[in-house]
């Protein structure tokens, strides 16, 4: 198998037929002598996405699908696709046609030139709210500044990766996936192409602000300890200031006898210290929650039906 195309699906009934047609239009003329496959992962859609995919699968044996027992999230859906993709190269693409299928031949060409990862970087984004663009931009830059590995900015999961990278990803057991970060962490020769991100073709975004916040925190906690260290450093700074104020308070009370009832300063310092402490505890909590999720070792997802088998895991090390 030359190429697998992984497509996570969450309520995409309006886009699936057009997506399938455009993908075929792009892939059929490509030089892929060993053939290609589509892997649709239905991530608990509540619309007609699953029957649409199943109909496609009846007509076209290259259409494979995995149906999750509920909504597990975009990153888990992509992971399930990676677990079953057989291609020598694997494309990860959104179903809403925001990632243009027409870019795949160029991405694949770069892979043939000896790269293991070719990702597609967003030169511009259309049809997304100013708030979404701003938070995304901020997030990518904050992440880049607090992590040691270089995770490319303004880049989603739209990319082509080689078999080597797929096998490496499959050996990374973390529960809280941030796939674009994991791929950067893996290394090898990576490069990118730029594209203009289109508007969503139909339907609505499945990424609520809640899901985006989770993804952002998964990315940060998985690839940086800076927030934890910032809590420590902040704690020391605040304690240092508090200690000086304490010395002054004692001096004023017992030596100079020059002190006021001081309600305002009391309130301010209690509120400030309370805030700092809660933030620090919250940061620790974010890491703790992920630690405990990993200790539980639950399967990442539950499949309710599929027309393709899970591939055996490569041996560890
Ligand atoms: N998606 C998914 N599970 C979810 C949310 C989204 O599989 O819980 C899929 C969705 O169908 C699409 C891709 O992930 O193929 C990207 O989602 P979306 O377009 O909603 O995100 P956005 O482009 O708005 O960031
Ligand atoms: Mg989208």
pLDDT digit string, tens, across residues 206-233: 888 899 899 999 999 988 888 888 888 8
**Domain definitions of the chain by residue range:** 3-204
pLDDT at 69 (0 to 100): 94
Ligand nearest to the CA of 128: 1
Ligand 1 atom closest to 11 (CA)? 11
Asked whether 76 lines ligand 1 (CB < 6 A), one says no
Asked whether 74 lines ligand 1 (CB < 6 A), one says yes
What is the CATH number that goes with domain 3-204?
A: 3.90.550.10
Q: In what order do the strands lie in the sheet containing 155-162?
A: 190-197, 117-125, 155-162, 89-92, 3-9, 36-42, 63-68, 303-306
Neighbours of ion ligand 2 (CB under 5 A): 96, 98
Ligand 1 atom closest to 206 (CA)? 20
Ligand nearest to the CA of 46: 1
Banded model confidence at residue 315, pLDDT cuts 50, 70, 90: low
Instruction: Tell me the CA–centroid distance for residue 279 and ligand 2, in Å.
Output: 32
pLDDT at 266 over 60: yes
Asked whether 135 lines ligand 1 (CB < 6 A), one says no
Phi-psi region of 221 (alpha: psi -120 to 50; beta: other; left: phi over 0): alpha
Asked whether 101 lines ligand 1 (CB < 6 A), one says no
- The model's pTM is 0.82
């Amino acid at each position: 198998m030359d190429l697998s195309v992984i497509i996570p699906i969450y309520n995409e009934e309006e886009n699936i037929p057009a997506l399938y047609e455009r993908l075929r239009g792009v892939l059929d003329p490509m030089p892929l002598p060993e053939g290609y496959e589509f892997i649709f992962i239905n991530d608990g859609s509540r619309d007609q996405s699953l029957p649409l995919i199943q109909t496609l699968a009846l007509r076209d044996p290259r259409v494979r699908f995995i149906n999750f027992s509920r909504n597990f999230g975009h990153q888990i859906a992509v992971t399930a696709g990676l677990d079953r993709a057989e291609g020598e190269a694997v494309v990860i693409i959104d179903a809403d046609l925001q990632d243009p299928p027409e870019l795949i031949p160029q991405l694949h060409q770069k892979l043939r030139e000896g790269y293991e990862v070719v990702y597609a970087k967003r030169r511009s984004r259309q049809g997304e709210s100013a708030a979404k663009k701003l938070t995304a931009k901020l997030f990518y830059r904050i992440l880049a500044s607090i992590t040691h590995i270089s995770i490319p900015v303004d880049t989603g999961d739209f990319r082509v990766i080689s078999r080597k990278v797929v096998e490496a990803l499959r050996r990374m057991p973390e529960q809280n996936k941030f796939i674009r970060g994991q791929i950067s962490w893996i290394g090898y020769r990576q490069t990118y192409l730029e594209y203009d991100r289109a508007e969503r073709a139909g339907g609505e975004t499945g990424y609520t602000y809640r899901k985006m916040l989770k993804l952002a925190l998964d990315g940060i906690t998985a690839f940086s300890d800076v927030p934890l260290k910032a809590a420590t450093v902040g704690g020391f700074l605040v304690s240092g200031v508090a200690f000086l104020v304490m010395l002054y308070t004692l001096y004023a009370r017992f030596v100079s006898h020059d002190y006021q009832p001081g309600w305002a300063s009391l309130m301010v310092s209690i509120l400030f210290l309370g805030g700092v402490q809660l933030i620090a505890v919250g940061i620790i909590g974010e890491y703790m929650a992920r630690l405990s999720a990993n200790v539980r070792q639950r399967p990442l997802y539950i499949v309710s039906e599929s027309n393709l088998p899970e591939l055996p895991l490569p041996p560890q090390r």
